[in-house]
Structure 1
Amino acid sequence: MQSKSKRSTEGRSEYLLLGSIIALGIAFSPYLFYLYEIFPTSPVWETRFFTYESKYYLNVLTAAWTYLGKITPLFLLLIWFFTCKHWWYHAILIPTGMYAFQLVVAFYEDVYMDASIFMDINGLIYLAPFFIIILSIVYLIRIKIFDRVYGLDLSELDETEVSVFSSVSDKDRKEIREFEDLEEDYQDASNVILEDYYRKL
């Protein structure tokens, strides 16, 4: 019994710790963005570990401002994606993919300064297949949820023939006729019973 309560307490503690880390990450996201102010304004940044040369922006501060301007919303969108409980959470991947693509393009242009490949010019062409796949997934999930909520069977749509000039479909007319036939049979049976009753009196 104590082991169950201990596991339950540990699970709650882990959940609380993870939630606290996420909340702190969101709260400190403006500070993440303003980290660019610690970088030098020169085109080369030398440290003991590496040397970074900004070839496109010609200023490490501007390059850091650009990178952190992409990393901060990307970080927040990833938190939103992994913590969202709505059925449409896959749609969050579209702006996430856009920011990730822009970050890669900005870094590639600044580090390599390859004028032969400009990925940012036709960025939408590179992202279109990704967007189409995500939108298809979201739409399929929406259809499944709509089907469960309203109890619709999509195979019934093939059986239903809707007339343009009539508000009642052929399938509904058929059901109405069957109901009327059943009602007539019931009335005939009740008339026979009444006649037998009166004869016996």
Structure 2
Amino acid sequence: MEKLQHKLTKENLKSQHTDKKFYNRKILTGSIIASFIASTPFLFYLYEYVPTTESWETIFGTYKSIQYGDANVAMWVLSMKVIPLILSLIWFFTCRHWWYHVLIIPITMFSFQCIGALNDDIIFMDEFHIIYLLPIMAFIFPSIYLIRAKMFSKINDADKTMEELEEEFMIKPKTLWGKISQYF
């Protein structure tokens, strides 16, 4: 009996240590994400440090602004597209609600806008991106509606709360790579 008690005590200590390590990692990850979100206004205004010339020398190479005529304006346009894209991605990967797949639509829209902002051949930017979004929207909207209908059917058939149903439908990958790979 004493050996069993000693074994259980070791397992409890090991479990507590693992839980504490997991909790600390979760706090660290949340702190990094929160700090990044809080710093987005500063990231947005980084374009002000870009020179107002057509050509801009960086450590990554030379950027030549053809369409905008000014590297500062080009980086301003790009930052207006990239910051919402990054915030939408953070929201998508940290959202715990059943409807988080709807966030794929604005993520796709911001992605198209970023590509359009970098592509110097596009004259009318942000004009026809909705056409490219239609197939994605045609898949996402019915999927979300079906999940919603299934949830409400279970609410009417059972005495579960909305939170319990959200928990039931939630897919919880353990790692960031797991979250990314579940969509591809």
Q: TM-score band, normalised by the shorter chain?
A: 0.7 to 0.9
1:25 and 2:36 correspond: yes
Q: Residue 56 of structure 2 contacts residue 63 of structure 2 at CA under 8 Å; is this kept in 1?
A: yes
Normalised to the residue count of structure 1, the TM-score between the two structures is: 0.68
Q: Match for 1:147: what amino acid? A: S
Identity, % of aligned positions? 43
Q: Match for 1:35: what amino acid? A: L
Aligned to 1:68: 79
Q: Cα offset for 1:120? A: 4.2
Q: What CA distance in whole angstroms lies between the structure 2 residues aligned with 1:23 and 1:103?
A: 24
Q: Match for 2:104: what amino acid? A: L
Alignment RMSD (CA, Å): 1.7
Q: What CA distance in whole angstroms lies between the structure 1 residues aligned with 2:59 and 2:76?
A: 22
Q: What CA distance in whole angstroms lies between the structure 1 residues aligned with 2:59 and 2:94?
A: 38
Unaligned runs of 5+ in 1: 153-201
Normalised to the residue count of structure 2, the TM-score between the two structures is: 0.74
Q: Cα offset for 1:48? A: 4.2
1:127 and 2:128 correspond: no
Q: Residue 117 of structure 2 contacts residue 125 of structure 2 at CA under 8 Å; is this kept in 1?
A: no
Q: Match for 1:139: what amino acid? A: Y
Going from structure 1 to structure 2, the CA distance change for 1:34 and 1:86 (only over 3 Å counts) comes to same
User: Which protein is bigger by CA-based radius of gyration?
Assistant: 1
2:52 aligned counterpart, secondary structure? coil
Aligned to 2:13: 2
4+ residue runs of structure 1 moved beyond 4 angstroms?
A: none
1:139 and 2:145 correspond: yes
Unaligned runs of 5+ in 2: 1-11, 159-184
Aligned length: 147
Q: Match for 2:129: what amino acid? A: G
Aligned to 2:4: none
Q: Cα offset for 1:57? A: 0.5
Q: Cα offset for 1:88? A: 1.2
Aligned to 1:84: 95
